Chain A
Amino acid sequence: MNAVTPDSGLHYLEDFTRNKASLPGRQQPWVAALREAAMRKFVATGFPTRHDEDWKYTSVAPIERGRFLLSSGQPRAVDKPQVEARALPGAHLLVFVDGYHVPSLSKVDALPAGVSIASLATLLERRRSGIETQFDAAASYPSAFAALNVACMTDGACVHLAKGVRLDAPIHLLFLSVTFGLAAHTRSLVFAEEDSHAVIVEHHAALGTPVYFTNTVTDIVLGRRAQIEHHKLQQESARAFHIAAITADLAEQSRLISTSFALGAALARTDILAKLNGEGAECSLDGLYVADGRQHIDHHTRIDHNVPRGTSRELYKGVLDDASRAVFNGKVIVHPDAQRSDAAQTNRNLLLSEHAEIDTKPQLEIWADDVKCSHAATVGQLDAGQIFYLRSRGLDEETARALLTYGFAAEMVQRIEHPGLRQRLDDLLRERLPQQLEALS
C-alpha cells in the first residue's frame, strides 16, 4: 500500500471486500483469483496523481473523494420509453443500467449464424464459457483504473463474430446511469475472427443529472482481414465522472475504425490503444470533444506500429467554450523493424471563450527508418475574416459564429458511415451550438 493516498484507495478496497461475494462469477475460482490479483495491483499503484506524466493535466482527486460505491446488482427500474428514445433505429440493443444488463429493456433481433452477443455477467457465471481464454488474450492495459475495473467488473457485452460473418445492423450498447453515488465498472469484449465485420456503438448516457462514476474498459481483438467499427458516444450526466479505456489488437490486414464523441461528464478521460500486430493492419482513430461550463475532457491515444507496413490515421477535433478544459495526447510509436509504417496524426482545437484551456501533446516515437510519419496540432479561435464574410451576407454575429463552429466540428460527424448514427450525432452537435441553426443542407 505504498504510494496510495491513505484512505481513498482503501475505500475502494473495503468496498470491494464488502461486495465481492455478490459480484458475478463468484462460483468460478479463476474469476475470484483474477479479481483479487487486479485489486492488489490497484492498491499497489493507487490512483494516478498529476506527477504521473500521463495524468499531468488531469486530476482524478474528485473521483477519489467521491467514494463511489459498487452497486448491489439490482438495478433500478427504468421506463421503457426513456430507453427507446435513446435507441438507435435498426440496431441490436443491449441495455445496461448502473453497470448491469437488463434483458427486459434490450432488444436483439435474429442474428446471423456465427454471431453471439451475450452479457459478460452471464458468461462469468457459466462454467466453460470460453471467456477465460478471451480474458487472457485481451486484458493487458496497465493502468490503475483498468485494474480496478477487472477487480470490480459487474457486466458488459461480449460480442463474438465467427470467421467470415458480416453483421450489417450495428450493435448498440447503451450504458445508462441512474443512481446517485454509484460506481459502474463495465467491461466489454469484442472478438472478431478472420474476415468478419461489425459496427459497435458504445453509448454512455444518464437519466437526470446524478453524480456517479463510470469506469469502463472495452477490448477488441481483430483477426486477419477483420473489420470493426467502434463508435463511442459519451453523453454522461454533467456531474458525472467517466474513465474509459479501449484496447484493440489488430492482426494482418485487419482494419479498425474508432471514433470517440465526448460531449458529457464533468470529468472524462478516454484512453484508446491500438496495436498493429499484423502486417498491413490499418487503423483510423477519430474524435470530437465539445465542452462547456467547467467540463474537463481528456483523450489519450496510443498507436503501436509493431510490424512492417501498418497504416494509422488520426484526427481529433475539439470545441471549447466557457471555462472548460480539454487535454489531448496522441502517441504514435513505430517500433524497431516496423518499416514502411505510415502514420499521420492531427489535433485541431477551437477556443470559443477566454477562460477555456487546451493542453495538447502529439507525440511521435520512431525507432525505424523507412517510415512516413507526421503530426500536426493547431489551436485558435474563429477566423475574423470568415465571420465578416458571413455577416456581409446578412447573418448576424451569433449565427455566423454558430455556423462556423458547426462547420469546424461537423467534419467529424460526416465521417461516420452509418446514416442513423450520423444523424443522431449531427442532432447532438447542433444542440450544443450556442445558437440554433436553421436546417442547412
Chain B
Amino acid sequence: MANPAFSLDELIGQEYRQGFYTPLETDTVPRGLDEDVIRLISAKKNEPEFMLQWRLQAYRHWLTMSEPKWSTVVHPNIDYQDISYYSAPSSQKAGPRSLDEVDPELLRTYEKLGVPLRERELLAGVAVDAVFDSVSVATTFKAKLGELGIIFCSFSDAVREHPDLVQQYLGSVVPYTDNFFATLNSAVFSDGSFCYIPPGVRCPMELSTYFRINARNTGQFERTLIIADKGAYVSYLEGCTAPMRDENQLHAAVVELIALEDAQIKYATVQNWYPGDKDGKGGIYNFVTKRGDCRGANSRISWTQVETGSAITWKYPSVVLQGDNAVGEFYSVALTNHYQQADTGTKMIHIGRNTRSTIVSKGISAGHGRNSYRGLVKIAKSAAGARNYSQCDSLLLGDQCAAHTFPYIEVKNPTGQVEHEASTSRIGEDQLFYCQSRGISAEDAVAMIVNGFCKEVFKELPMEFAVEAQKLLGVSLEGSVG
C-alpha cells in the first residue's frame, strides 16, 4: 500500500484493554489431573452421584484418546498435568444468593470490563451470568425470569436443582466421547450457564454469560446447555476476556443447544480472550466445541460469532438439522493479527426434509495472522429439498498473513441444492485512494472498508453487541494497515 500517513510500529503496540489481573484470594486445586481431582471437583460442587459417574466415564475415555493433529494450527505441546483444573474466588465458597453477597472486588472487576452487573440488572434489561475462573459468581434477573418458568442459572445450580433436565439433555448433542477437548471438558468442567425455556415462552430479554479467566496456570472448562422447548425463543450472548500473561492458558468449553419443535435459539459470541503480545507470546488457546441440535420440525438455530481474541481459536459451531424445515445459520467474523491463528467454520448436517442453512464467514488476516475457514455441508439421503448457501470471504492486510478455505460439501440427495462461494482479496489501492480523495484518513478508510466487509455478520448481532464488536474490530486492527 502506498506510503501510509501514520506509523505502523506505533499502532501495532496497541494494548489489550482487558489485560489486567484482579488479585483475589482463590481456592485452587493443585495442578495435575487424575480421578481424585475429578472427585474433588465434583465434591466441591456438591454434585449428585450421576454427575460424578459421568465425569469419570469421560475421564477414562479421555485417557484412550490423543490430541487431534489435522488442523492447520501450530502450538507447542500442552502439558495437561501442568494445569490446575479448578479455581474459585474463595469468598464465593458458599455461593452468593444475591448480588449483595458478591465480593465487591469481583463486582469492580466486572465493572472495569464494562459488564456492570448491578446496572445491567436495573437498566439494560440483559440478564447476566458471570463466570469467574471456574465458578459462576452471579446471575442476575433470576426472579423475573422465574415468573415465566425460564430457568437461567449457573450449571452447578442446575445440577443440584434440576438434575432431571440436566440428566436428560447433558451430552445429548456433544457426547462425552465426541473429541479430545470435549471429552476433557466433560471430565473436568467446572461451571457455565444453564438455560431452559419452557414451551411457548418467548424469553423477554437477552440472556448473557460473561466469562473471565483470572487465576494463573488454570484452564477454564465451562459447559453451557440451552434448551428451547416447543415454540420457545431465546437470544443468548456470550463474552470473554482474560488477563495478559506470558504463558498460554487453555480454554476448552462445550456448548450444547437443543431446539425442539418450532423453537428458536440465537447464540452470539464476542470472543476477546487475551490474544498474546505482538510477538506471539502468551494468549489463550480457545479450543471449543459448540453444537446445536434442531431436534423438532421448524426449529431454528443461529450462531453468530465475532472472534478477535485468543492466540489460537479452534472451533466449529455446528447445527444438526434433524427436524423437517429446520433452519441453521452461521455468521462469523474472525480476525487474526500479530501471530494469532484461527481455524474456525461450521458444520451443517442436513437430515430432515426441506432443511435450510446459510453460512456467511468473513476472515480478516493482518500481521502474521493465519485464518482458516473449515466447514462441512452434508446433505443426507433423507434430506429431500435441502438448501444451503455458503459464502466465505477473506480479507488480507499485510503480506505476511495467510488465509485458507477448506469447504467440504457432501451431497447424497439430488433435490439438495448447495452453493458455495469464496473469495480472497486485499483492500484495493483504488478503494483507499477513493476514500482518501474524499478526505477520509487511510486508517478510517480501512476501518470503514473492514466494517463494510463484516456488515452482513454484524447485522445479526443484538444491538449493543454489534456496537461493541465494531469497536473491538477497530482496536484489534489498529496498526495493521500498511
Interface residues of A (CB under 8 A from B): 53, 336-337, 339, 349, 351-354, 356-381
Contact = CB atoms under 8 A, between A and B. Distances in A.
Contacts of B398: 369
A359 B425 contact: no
A373 B423 contact: yes
A408 to B, nearest CB: 14
B477 to A, nearest CB: 14
A440 B413 CA distance: 31
A325 to B, nearest CB: 9
Interface in B381-414: 381, 394, 396-414
B399 A379 contact: no
A347 B416 CA distance: 16
Contacts of A357: 410-412
Main secondary structure of the interface of A (DSSP, over half): strand
A377 B408 contact: no
Contacts of B435: none
A363 B405 contact: yes
Interface of B: 70, 379, 381, 394, 396-426
A380 B417 contact: yes
Given A356-B414, A366-B394, A374-B423, A379 B402 contact: no
12 contacts: A354-B415, A356-B414, A357-B410, A363-B406, A368-B396, A369-B399, A371-B424, A372-B424, A373-B425, A379-B411, A381-B414, A381-B415
B421 A368 contact: no
Nearest to A374: B423
Given A365-B404, A371-B426, 7 more contacts: A361-B406, A362-B422, A368-B399, A369-B398, A373-B425, A375-B420, A381-B414
B414 A366 contact: no
Contacts of A351: 411, 413-414, 416
B419 A378 contact: yes
A359 B408 contact: yes
B407 A377 contact: yes
A364 B425 CA distance: 12
Contact of A379 (B70, B416, B422): B416
Contact of A366 (B402, B406, B407, B416): B402
Contacts of B405: 362-365, 375
Contacts of B404: 363-366
Given A378-B419, A380-B418, A364 B408 contact: no
A366 B424 contact: yes
B409 A359 contact: yes
A377 B398 CA distance: 28
Given A53-B70, A362-B407, A364-B403, A371 B396 contact: yes
Contact of A377 (B413, B415, B418): B418
A366 B406 CA distance: 12
A354 B70 contact: no
Q: Which of B399, B405, B418 has the most CB of A within 10 A?
A: B405
Contact of B409 (A358, A367, A374): A358
A366 B412 CA distance: 30
Identify which of B401, B404, B414, B419 gathers the most chain A CB atoms within 10 Å of its CB.
Answer: B414
B295 to A, nearest CB: 25
Contacts of B409: 358-361, 377, 379
A381 to B, nearest CB: 5
A367 B410 CA distance: 27
A388 B426 CA distance: 43
Contacts of A376: 419-422
B417 A365 contact: no
Contacts of A53: 70
B418 A366 contact: no
A59 to B, nearest CB: 15
Contacts of A377: 407, 409, 418-420
A381 B413 CA distance: 9
Contacts of B420: 362, 375-378
Identify which of A339, A358, A369, A370 gathers the most chain B CB atoms within 10 Å of its CB: A369
B407 A363 contact: yes
Contacts of A369: 396-399, 401, 426
B414 A371 contact: no
A233 B276 CA distance: 53
A117 B423 CA distance: 42
Contacts of A367: 402
Contacts of A339: 399
Contact of B426 (A361, A370, A375, A381): A370
Contacts of B408: 359, 361
Nearest to B372: A365
Nearest to A373: B424
Contacts of B424: 364, 366, 371-374
A101 to B, nearest CB: 42
A367 B399 CA distance: 8
Contacts of A337: 399
A349 B418 CA distance: 10
A124 to B, nearest CB: 40
Contacts of B423: 373-374
B422 A375 contact: yes
